[in-house]
Chains A and B, each alone.
Chain A
Amino acid sequence: MATERTDVVIVGVGAAGAILAAELAGAGMRVIALERGPRHAQADFKAMDELRFFQRQDTRPNPKRQPVTWRPNANARATPLRVLNYGNQAGGGSVHYGAVSWRFHEDDFRARSHTIERYGAKAIPEDTSLADWPLTYPELEPYYDKAEYDLGVSGKAGNLNGQIVEGGNPFEAPRKREFPLPPLHDDQAGKLFDEAANKLGYKPFSSPHAIISRDYKGRAACTYCGFCQGFGCYNGAKSSTLVTHLPLADATGNFRLITLAMVYRVNSDNSGRATGVSYYGPDGSDNTIEAEIVILAPFVFDNTRLLLLSKTAKFPNGFANSSGQVGKHFMAHIAPRVFAAFDDRYVNNYMGPNAQKHSFDEFNGDNFDHKDVGFIRGSNIAVATAGLEGGPIASAMGLVPPPGTPTWGAAYRDFFSKYFARHLVLLSEIENLPYPDHIIDLDPDVKDAWGLPAPRVTYDWHRQNENKQVEFIQPKLEELARAMGAAHVWRAPLGAGQPGPHPQGGTRMGSNPRTSVVNKYSQSWDVPNLFIVGSSTNPSMSGFNPTLTIQALAYYTADAITNRYRKSPGPLV
């Protein structure tokens, strides 16, 4: 058992935690970070091995050792989710993610007010707990900018200071300057998508990716190998915080990373102030870090779990949970997909970065008139691969054959051998509204390998607003596939109601301490020296992938700690 003292302890060095580590250590604070997984070297990813990294999920949490359980409603028994699509190493999910790096729309930050202003209060579904964010896009813009330039994001501006720019996303929130790097090279999937979208009157563009299209900050450009989403990048062109920010933190001399460390409690004193964290080391040791500032930056599920595991007499319902909001308003994207298969051409969709290669944004957020559609909010639409990536194992698992074609036997073999290199997938990411009964709590039955209760998710996306969104978007995807000239167009099965990509919520931020867990600086209302960061703080989501917003918020928090909190510790709001 060891006890150490430091200025700042950070739990989890993923997309957000590594940025905070680099920023705070760079500002002269002594930082210790605790990471549940290992710290990989670049060489670990030279094995471009679909079985190990995609299928056996070697960069993601093992669901047997670190289960997260799910049930559709409070009357059902929860069972472990079979795939946990987030990170389990230094760099977190940014190691294996598809690196799609959006800025949210301006109205994503104020979806409730915006909806009421445009459609009236009756347009807000009765069952949702939709709330505005406590900060606006203009407040976050400088931090988005910093994130894009520090990471290295490739893309084309669509809105420069209010001027619409040809070739980018005309619906994007106004940016102050161009992306640091030009878009990635188009592949067949992107070209086909653009042609079809243009034909239908949309404005397609190359999705922004945190993958460097040219050499940048000492790293070599992407070589389009395709072992991308689901994999660590073999040459470091993917701007994961493992290669962008952890080296910066190392260089400060103020940073120490402890890997294979399982944090199981946030410690506090009688006044309710956080004093540090306890963790199990890889040797089974029980250790404590004492710190002036405690930053929780694991994935969504573990932010809630850690608070619920850290109950005290002062906080009997979970640490920093006087609001009773911890674990509530859980959200995830709903992702209807349509397959398109071609008889007259190859697409070779296993080439190049896999995630949302090209997109259009006409049906996202409030970019279209919702007056008569019967729902609010929307979805990005993009072209992608059947699984996380485009290799044959992912396609054998994810490319569900069209109705009438079996999933095995000679007919399946002929289907798969013909269309593996001749198919692509049209993907939507529907914004899921927050609901107070979509929650994360502690599973009473299932424990992880450390004997700690597993996070349990109670959630079913089949709500009225979401069902109508799915019905609306599927024909759009089919229309697009046909406009591409696909010989065969069919829908992927939607599956049960379990959470899809990009889980968010559980420690929502807000303007009111009674209805939210943290303020806009991700600072606990109850415990001012506790910061809870990541997409668990999102009060609503967006039809966009969340990572760049998580990273901008991490910079925002780091700035507030460095320039304000350090001089005068206490509530920032």
Chain B
Amino acid sequence: MTKHDENRRAFLVGAVAGAAAGAGAVATAALVSNSEARTQPEGGVDSLSKAARQGAFFNAADAATVAAFAERLMPGAPGKPGAADANVLNYIDLALAGAYTDQQDFYRHGLAALEAHCRKTYGESFAKLTEAQQDETIRALEEGKAESFTWPQARAFFDTLRTHTMEGMFADPVYGGNKDFAGWTLVGFPGVQLIFTPNELESRQAFARAPVAGLQSKARST
């Protein structure tokens, strides 16, 4: 995919969201849902159910940060589903409320340090930075050059977000990411195929059968 296509997509998404033109697609989506939440009457059943949908662990601000971060790690483009398309945020959110509860503090501290770094460097939260600034920030973490980090260390926080983003891209959809097989479609992985035939084993071509989800198909059959 060409750089032109990506720019065009960012422009279109930005144009829809109005004020947030230039921010990453997911950051934009998160901002939209924030503004939606603000228009809801406070306290009612409706806002409770919205809040429940907002996140099992993250608050709105942290959700926007994580979504924007994941999208810069695995950006979407036309024909190339990214972290937002795969709903990586939802995967990480559910994991932190479940299998990874022991990493909640890691995220709390890491996100606070990231916020401090972005405020100090750009005067703005991560989700509101330009893509170039977001990339610059991620590189600083990757290279261990973000001084606001103590525990977790910047590099460890980067590594964990990368790992969890990849899990959200490519794990079975039952875990809340890899929405509509976004990740498997991106790389051409056919999921759980119980049998590969000799012809398929010997083929030099891309494998064409549609992806199958192991856990979801199992759940359906029981």
Contact = CB atoms under 8 A, between A and B. Distances in A.
A406 to B, nearest CB: 9
B172 A49 contact: yes
B198 A413 contact: no
A455 B206 CA distance: 46
A285 interface: no
Given A51-B175, A224-B195, A408-B72, A186 B189 contact: no
A185 B172 contact: no
A285 B215 CA distance: 36
Interface in A205-257: 223-227, 234
Chain B, interface size: which category?
A: 35 or more
B75 interface: yes
B203 A421 contact: no
A225 B196 contact: yes
B166 A191 contact: no
Contact of A227 (B1, B188, B192): B192
Contact of A47 (B80, B194, B195, B214): B214
A195 interface: no
B73 A408 contact: yes
A417 B81 CA distance: 10
Contacts of B102: 64
A218 B114 CA distance: 58
A540 to B, nearest CB: 36
A76 interface: no
Interface string A250-290: 00000000000000000000000000000000000000000
Contact of A396 (B166, B188, B194): B166
A300 B25 CA distance: 50
B154 to A, nearest CB: 14
Contacts of B201: 185-188, 224, 348, 351-352
A202 interface: no
A224 to B, nearest CB: 4
B109 interface: no
A387 to B, nearest CB: 11
A421 B192 contact: no
Interface string A463-493: 0000000000000000000000000000000
A408 B74 contact: yes
A397 interface: yes
B198 A185 contact: yes
Contacts of B135: 409
B27 interface: no
B189 A350 contact: yes
B34 interface: no
Contacts of B77: 410, 413
B60 interface: no
A61 B172 CA distance: 22
A349 B208 CA distance: 15
Contacts of B167: 51, 55, 393
B192 A392 contact: no
B99 interface: yes
B6 interface: yes
Contacts of B74: 408, 412-413
Contact of A408 (B138, B186, B192, B204): B138
Contact of A50 (B75, B171, B198): B171
B140 to A, nearest CB: 13
Contact of A392 (B142, B183, B193, B204): B183
Nearest to B206: A346
A397 B164 CA distance: 11
Interface string A350-385: 111000000000000000000000000000000000
A414 B74 CA distance: 10
B189 A409 contact: no
Given A46-B218, A185-B198, A188-B203, A420 B72 contact: no
Contact of B166 (A47, A56, A393, A417): A393
Nearest to A227: B192
- Secondary structure dominating the interface of B: helix
A346 B205 contact: yes
B200 interface: yes
A221 to B, nearest CB: 11
A225 B187 contact: no
B202 interface: yes
B75 A188 contact: no
Contacts of B184: 392
B169 A396 contact: yes
Given A56-B99, A188-B202, A393-B170, A408 B162 contact: yes
A49 B214 contact: yes
A407 interface: yes
Interface string B71-112: 011110100101000000000000000010010000000000
Interface string A396-416: 110000000001111011101
Interface string A177-199: 00000000111100100000000
B204 A234 contact: no
Contacts of B80: 413-414, 417
Contacts of B162: 407-408
Max chain A C-beta neighbours (<10 A), residue from B6, B192, B200, B218: B192
Interface in A151-190: 185-188
A392 to B, nearest CB: 4
Contact of A409 (B73, B172, B204): B73
Contacts of A407: 142, 162
A51 B98 CA distance: 14
B79 to A, nearest CB: 10
B130 interface: no
Contacts of A410: 6, 75, 77
B196 A223 contact: yes
Contacts of A409: 72-73, 75, 135
Contacts of A566: none
Given A187-B202, A348-B207, A392 B189 contact: yes
Contacts of B214: 46-49
Contacts of A420: 187-189
A510 interface: no
A101 to B, nearest CB: 21
Contact of A51 (B73, B171, B202, B203): B171
A393 B201 CA distance: 21
13 contacts: A46-B218, A47-B218, A191-B202, A224-B195, A345-B204, A346-B206, A348-B207, A351-B200, A392-B183, A393-B166, A410-B77, A413-B80, A416-B187
The 9 closest A-B pairs by CB, nearest first: A420-B187, A51-B171, A396-B166, A392-B170, A187-B201, A48-B214, A408-B73, A224-B196, A223-B195
Given A224-B196, A420-B189, 4 more contacts: A188-B203, A348-B207, A351-B196, A351-B207
